[in-house]
Chain A
Amino acid sequence: MTIPDTDILRRWLLHQLSPMQTEALEARLFDDDATQDGSFTAALREAEHDLVDDYASGRLDADERAAVERHLLRSAADRSRLAFARALAKNALAAAHPAQRASGRRHAVATPQTRRIRRRRVVVGAALAASFALALLVLSGIQPGPRVTTPYSTVTTSTAAQTITLLASAQRGANEQEIRIARGAQQIRLQAEVAQPHSGERYALRIAADAQTVFAAADLPLRQTGPYSYIEVTLPVNQLGSGARQVSVQSQGSPAAEFVWNLRATLDP
């Protein structure tokens, strides 16, 4: 008897299967043919660890996060497992980018204007952007490629996608900052931090050029990497284009809460 595939095991753990499927899997759990060598229970335990690891690394969407919290992270022992998973994720990031932590490279700082609430600044920096970018590059199966190190560009690129991270931070001024799009990048993965997230809330993101919308997305779920909550969109590089761009993020539940960043995108020749 074969072990159910990983997707089925994950959905079982998150209580996303039908009652009939659940009952059938439970019966298999107690069937010697399936579990005599312990492989079924081992696969199930591994699927549970992988879910907790994905939760710790911010690779789950809001619905999956809620399901993991509800079904897999309910006891003190579970919290201990989560602490372990978070430490393991941090350890992996540190091992993957030791140079970045020590480099002290210059970073692009975009200083957005707020219309009403507050200003935000784009900081494209070593460890922080790396933790967003690397986690998401790994999630998408894209291998991080050569790192483009210019004063104003993002930290990691791959042959397919370049990641731009917008952080919520203290005000610094109103000047827009330059974002250089690496040659060969075909897509932009844009992540915008949400400073005071509310669980279950959805967000809308808009990119404008001279008050004209060049990109918009709605109903975006909140993602989490460590202590940072953010939303994410992916768009083709040619849709972002080059020139002055204004990125705005708005909570769909509380439209008054809006965050704005001012950028200037430049395509590397």
Chain B
Amino acid sequence: MNEAVSSERAPFDALFARLGRDEPAQLGYERLRQRLIQFFRLHMPPEAEDLADLALDRLARRLHEGVAVDHPQRYALGVARLILLEARTRLARQHLAEQDPTWTDAPDAADAVHLEAAIAALNGCLEQLGERARALILAYYTADGAQRIRTRQRLAGEFGSSLNALRNRALRLRETLERCVREQLETVEQFT
């Protein structure tokens, strides 16, 4: 095996070996990565995935160096907090605006057109779902306030599922739909 590749893989081999003690290594890795992304989304959303990968990289290197890690998830949180401090210091030094200067809450003509395109894309993507899935996602995400909780509890009863299981199902459906709508809109933009 190429020595350079081998040396890059070695830390992640150590990470997988450690995560694989309590559950399948790949599953543990993905769960940890999702937690890190959630953490960084709370603080630096545009860089969340990159920072999560950086945290995993550093955790892997520590394990490869022989650092004893009793609880890799909590250790990862500590690494993440340090990375967050570094990232904030970097941004402060670079004097970057925290908000995208092109982002505005003022609606304009482009927003209206984009909304129409998104509605059309959503209708198309909803058609691709089964009837039951379509009914679920429309009911699950369109109530609000106190009604939202009652609706979701009612849906869990109707689907014969726990609230947690229904939540996971609704999240997967939503992510599928969001991806579908995004792809449709990107296709439209290519031809306009």
Interface 9-mer from B4-12, B71-79, B85-93, B153-161: B71-79
What is the bound-complex CA distance between A247 and B73, given in angstroms? 59
- Are B73's CB and A30's CB within 8 A? yes
What is the bound-complex CA distance between A37 and B177, given in angstroms? 24
> What's the least CB distance linking B177 to chain A, in Å?
7
Beyond A70-B99, A73-B103, A141-B145, whether A84 also contacts B39 by CB under 8 A is: no
What is the bound-complex CA distance between A138 and B146, given in angstroms? 9
- Are B181's CB and A140's CB within 8 A? no
Interface of B is mostly: helix
- Are A46's CB and B167's CB within 8 A? yes
Chain A contact-residue range equals: 35 or more
- Are A90's CB and B119's CB within 8 A? yes
What is the bound-complex CA distance between A80 and B99, given in angstroms? 16
Q: Which of A46-88 contact B (CB under 8 A)?
A: 46, 48-50, 53-54, 57, 59, 65, 69-75, 78-81, 83-84, 86-88
**Chain A residues within 8 Å of B, Cβ to Cβ:** 6, 12-13, 15, 26-27, 29-32, 35, 37-39, 41-46, 48-50, 53-54, 57, 59, 65, 69-75, 78-81, 83-84, 86-92, 95, 138-141, 199, 224, 226-227
Further pairs besides A78-B45, A87-B119: 17, Cβ < 8 Å: A30-B73, A30-B76, A35-B31, A46-B167, A46-B171, A59-B145, A69-B105, A71-B42, A71-B45, A74-B45, A74-B46, A84-B118, A95-B138, A138-B147, A140-B145, A226-B107, A226-B115
- A-B contacts, 16 listed (Cβ < 8 Å): A26-B77, A35-B31, A38-B31, A45-B171, A46-B170, A54-B144, A59-B145, A74-B99, A75-B46, A90-B115, A92-B142, A138-B143, A138-B145, A138-B147, A141-B145, A227-B112
**Chain B residues within 8 Å of A, Cβ to Cβ:** 22, 31, 34-35, 38-39, 41-42, 45-46, 73-74, 76-77, 98-100, 103, 105-107, 111-112, 114-115, 118-119, 121-123, 126, 138, 141-149, 164, 167-168, 170-171, 174, 177-178, 181-182, 185
